[in-house]
A and B are shown apart, each in its own frame.
Chain A
Amino acid sequence: MNLPLAQWIRPEDFTWQPLVPEMLLLLGALVLPLVGLKLKGATGRRDMGRLTVIVLLGALVLVGWMMATGAYLDLEIQIAEYPALYEVTMFSQFLKVIFLFVAIVIALASIEYASAFRNPIEYYALLLLATTGMMVVASSRDLITLFIGIETASLSTYVLAGYAKNDRYSTEAGTKYFIIGALSSAIFLYGISLVYGITGSVRFEEIALAMGNGLGMDSIGLAAIVLILVGIGFKVSLVPFHMWAPDVYHGAPDTVAGFLSAGSKAMGFAAAFKILLVGMAAIKAQWDLILGILAVLTMTVANIIALRQTSMKRLLAYSSIAHAGYILIAVIVGTQYALAGGLYHLTTNAIMKGTSFIIIAALAAYAIGDRLTDYKGLRVRNPLLALTLAIMLLSLAGVPPFAGFASKFVLFSSAVYESFTEGHQWLLWLAIAAVVNSLISLFYYAKIIRYMFAETGTSTEPIKAPLATNIAILIGLVLIVLLGIWPQLVLGPAMEAAASLLP
């Protein structure tokens, strides 16, 4: 433990190569603000965005290369004698691809959107830092590293949510998000301390070993689980810990809302997968029913409230909450197939939500505000945006042949399968609740589509989206169709990722 500092940083002591993507982002976050000081005017502000995209793309290429070739995979990154805190597996790389993809798409859309801010320099630095934090979560091997990753990402996103300083909604969002986030982190940390008290370790495999030996099946174990679930519940916005989400999504800048809905959510679930499916898998009987009730509650409440929303971003916020409920099925069922379904749905959800919020951001420049009625007649004003948004919404509702259907299918059918084979009869009801909820959701999505296509709006002035935004939107559109008709592209790696996580 008391290694001299000099020994820590000697490259020959540990394999540092797998950490290059994270290092690249960190370097970008630290160096880009300095570069930004030299860039002047509106063009300079846009160049900041372009540089960020390049840094992120570099990291994505590296992660993708590691995934494709298997280089450095299944490596515990050990520093001298110190036990490994960090791992590189299919699971971690899969999630990193999601995080980086979301960050790239958001950064692309931000080139134009964030140039409206007086000073977007820190905006991009925070975006990179948040992404780094998420990647740390995906690779963590113990609760402390995981917590540090969550906090790095969260602290960055608190600032991002309140980035539009002159907009009081944005300031409110930032403040609210910070207070709720700090509270949930505290609760989560308390849960971690209880786990440490029970098992004497914060490392996932040691927790799993101790709990496999019968520790934690008591009331203290239950308390630890409840505290951790509450902490995670806040992060991924499960009902009844969801109250902050609509306000924050509504107030935060559109691109940031997309980042929260697509990226932060995936990070929360990455943490949930690690803690519950690896660390606490042995005491599943303690938590699976609680989570089942939370899942049904989350999707039902969110979908019913969403029906009455008149604000586009609040509606998408509730849709995001509902999707957290669906993905929870992956944790509850906990098989390789279910986890693959969960990862698959995290991917599609990230694409659908990211693209939707980008479109909203692009429309904001044309006085299309937040009200649903503002979307009337959008088809006439910009057919590409209207069609893409319609496809994203249909996919969110789970209409084939779009990717949202395929991922929901894998997710829900895993519950059906378990209910048949393992005698977990109640899982069938979970699947039925999820299907019924998908149905309810169709009605509010269809309402927006009807507004866009069948109603006439107050203006017919054509809308022109910036090139970078169009590129981001097209990527989303192509992916959502492609992954819908060719699910294997994601499902194959997702199955491998799930296999690498589960013991």
Chain B
Amino acid sequence: MDHTTIPLIPIVLAIVLAGSIITFFLAPQAARRFALFVSLFPLAYGTWVLTQIPLAATAYDAAAMTDYIELPWIPAIGAAFTFGIDGISAPMVFLTGLTTTLVIWYSWGETNRTSQYLALMLLIQFAVIGVFTALDYFLFYIFWELVIIPMFFLILLWGGPNRRYAAVKFFAFTFVTSLIMLLGIMALYFQAGLGTFNMLEIAAVSPLLDTGVQTLIFAAFLIGFGAKMPLVPVHTWLPDAHVQAPTGGSVILAAVLLKMGAYGFLRAALPSVPEGFMELRTLVIVLALVSMVYTALVALAQRDIKSMIAYSSISHMGAAMLGFATLTHLGLVGGLYMMFAHGLISAALFMGAGIIQHHAGTRLIPELGGLAEKMPMATILILAAFLASLGLPGMAGFVAEILILLGTYEAFGFLLIVAVLAVPITAGYYLWAAKRTFFGAPTTRIDLSKVKDAAHYEYWPMFLLIALAVLFGVAPMILTGMMDTGSDLVLGAMDLDLAHPVQEVDA
């Protein structure tokens, strides 16, 4: 693939940032239209870039990156505006563009300080695309932190009754852990001794560092990325943030922000400190399995639909982490596919929870019942999202799960049994929640006669997400090719002797 000389990624980022600032000052109706228009740029770019990923790349370097660009920034410390997209980040950029556009569409009914709300959405999109495309540790960190501020205000100003607590908890958790990650970045920067923050250049030398140093650096990354994913035991901010956040914020949080953690592992941690990862691999596997199974059990006990979906998200991201920990092609591709599929499905799920909240006035499962008659369209879409999330074959979630489970078996053998435990539990809480919410005796706790079906701006985005979940369920090869190349490059950069992964773990 020829490298274009046009800095496409910085241009897209600049458009979104400028759009965000302009939206802030517009009148509500104009702000909606303008924000939607601005969000089409990253969506168009994200879609186009899916077709541009060089599948034949063999080395983890600039040539493997689409639209790679390096612009001088802070020569004093060797930081630069380095951007690029490969098979790992392309689906994420597409996902970010897609969900932001749909969330802005979905938020057509938002009347509380609409312009500011949409401006913050675009600002988050700006930062997240920055995270997914930055190939410079310093730049990566700046974008990473920039995500926190608008999300903090989104929860603080538009959230539910307990929003202050949730917002501060979100801020504290993510900020504290990312500072630890910053220490890891500093250590990596100085240990590599190249005088550059370029991820690709550092990854070319840092795997040769002393194992002890690598372990410390990876531990710092594990804390930073683990909290964002989130992994048990640093997950407790997520249910609070989700329950209190406005629907749009929840969708972005689940669909895009959680992916940053998993993406960080693949981009910033694994290729640079493989030995450190190998040292802590057992811990990562245990954390991933606990995240999968324990949070699925916790989800079973939730009364609030949103809270249930939040725990389900943790469970799914745990599965993605398990996929990465296998260090097999199947596992890595499965993990990547899980990130993408969960992005589509969780966005639909949170939109569904928002519809129930909006029209029924509550999200508490015991207060609901018999909604199917009153809101048939919403019921169909939410049920479809439930099924997609529990891994129904034919939908994107299934592809991800089967790949991860296969990878797990390939790497760890019968440890698979623990991972598989999460599957029936997941099916359990979704089906149980569906039964109690939509079917069964009509509830008397709320006034069902006032409940209306979803508005068009609510169900169309959801429908599109479900449709895409089906598309990527039946045609996974659209993405698996580039994901395979991407994971190949990461494994190649790690340069580990994994001829016999099973024995590797046994030993």
User: A: which residues have CB within 8 A of B?
Assistant: 337, 340, 394, 399-401, 405-406, 409-410, 412-413, 416-417, 420-421, 431-432, 435, 438-439, 442-443, 446, 450, 453-454, 485-488, 491-492, 495
Contacts and interface: CB of A to CB of B under 8 A. Distances in A.
A270 B138 CA distance: 29
Going nearest first, the 6 A-B pairs with the smallest beta carbon separation are: A400-B145, A400-B142, A491-B76, A416-B186, A454-B156, A401-B142
Nearest to B144: A400
Interface in B150-170: 153, 156-157, 163-164, 167-168
Contacts of A492: 75-76
Interface stretch (B175-183, B307-315, B332-340, B481-489): B175-183
Nearest to A420: B190
A487 B142 CA distance: 12
Given A435-B179, A435-B183, A420 B76 contact: no
A450 B182 contact: no
B340 to A, nearest CB: 27
B76 A446 contact: no
14 contacts: A400-B144, A406-B74, A409-B138, A413-B190, A416-B187, A417-B190, A432-B183, A442-B172, A446-B168, A450-B168, A453-B157, A454-B164, A492-B75, A492-B76
The majority secondary structure among interface residues of chain A is helix
A405 B145 CA distance: 10
Contacts of B176: 439
B164 A416 contact: no
A435 B183 CA distance: 8
Contacts, number: 79
Contacts of A485: 142
A401 B145 contact: yes
A148 B42 CA distance: 60
B187 A410 contact: no
B171 interface: yes
A410 B74 CA distance: 11
A453 B156 CA distance: 8
B168 A439 contact: no
A364 B146 CA distance: 32
A435 B156 contact: no
Contacts of B186: 412-413, 416, 431
A450 B74 contact: no
B412 interface: no
Contact of A450 (B76, B138, B164): B164
A446 B171 contact: yes
B52 interface: no
Contacts of A421: 190
Nearest to B79: A487
Candidate in B74, B163, B179 with the most chain A CB atoms within 10 angstroms: B74
A394 B183 contact: no
B145 A399 contact: yes
Given A420-B190, A431-B183, 6 more contacts: A340-B76, A409-B182, A450-B156, A454-B164, A488-B75, A495-B76
Candidate in A337, A488, A495 with the most chain B CB atoms within 10 angstroms: A488
Given A432-B183, A438-B179, A453-B156, A401 B73 contact: no
B143 to A, nearest CB: 8
A405 B149 CA distance: 14
B141 A400 contact: yes
A439 B148 CA distance: 15
A393 B153 CA distance: 14
The majority secondary structure among interface residues of chain B is helix
A450 B186 CA distance: 31
A409 B178 CA distance: 13
B189 interface: yes
Contacts of A438: 179
B76 A413 contact: no
Nearest to A443: B172
Nearest to A418: B190
B77 interface: yes
A137 to B, nearest CB: 25
Contacts of A412: 186
Interface in B74-97: 74-77
Contact of A491 (B74, B142, B163, B171): B74
Contacts of A487: 74, 76
Interface string B179-215: 1001100110111000000000000000000000000
A454 B167 contact: yes
A454 B166 CA distance: 12
B431 to A, nearest CB: 38
Given A438-B179, A454-B164, A399 B149 contact: yes
Contacts of A416: 183, 186-187, 190
B161 to A, nearest CB: 12
A401 B141 CA distance: 9
B160 to A, nearest CB: 12
Given A399-B175, A401-B146, A453-B157, A435 B182 contact: yes
A454 B186 CA distance: 35
B507 to A, nearest CB: 32
A477 to B, nearest CB: 13
B157 A454 contact: yes
Nearest to A432: B183
Nearest to B156: A454
A176 to B, nearest CB: 36
A394 B149 contact: yes
Candidate in B77, B141, B157, B187 with the most chain A CB atoms within 10 angstroms: B77
A399 B142 CA distance: 9
A205 to B, nearest CB: 27
B347 to A, nearest CB: 26
A446 B173 CA distance: 13
B163 A454 contact: yes
Nearest to B171: A446
B101 to A, nearest CB: 24
A402 to B, nearest CB: 9
Nearest to A413: B186
Interface string B394-421: 0000000000000000000000000000
Contacts of A446: 168, 171-172
Contacts of B187: 416
Contact of B76 (A442, A443, A488): A488
Contacts of B144: 400
A435 B185 CA distance: 13
A416 B189 CA distance: 10
A406 B79 CA distance: 11
A401 B146 CA distance: 6
Contacts of B189: 413
Candidate in A409, A438, A491 with the most chain B CB atoms within 10 angstroms: A409
Contacts of B141: 400
A415 to B, nearest CB: 10
Contacts of B167: 450, 454
Contact of A488 (B73, B145, B182, B191): B73
A81 to B, nearest CB: 41
A454 B168 CA distance: 11
A439 B179 contact: yes
B134 to A, nearest CB: 12
Contacts of B149: 394, 399
B146 A400 contact: yes
Interface string B42-79: 00000000000000000000000000000001111100
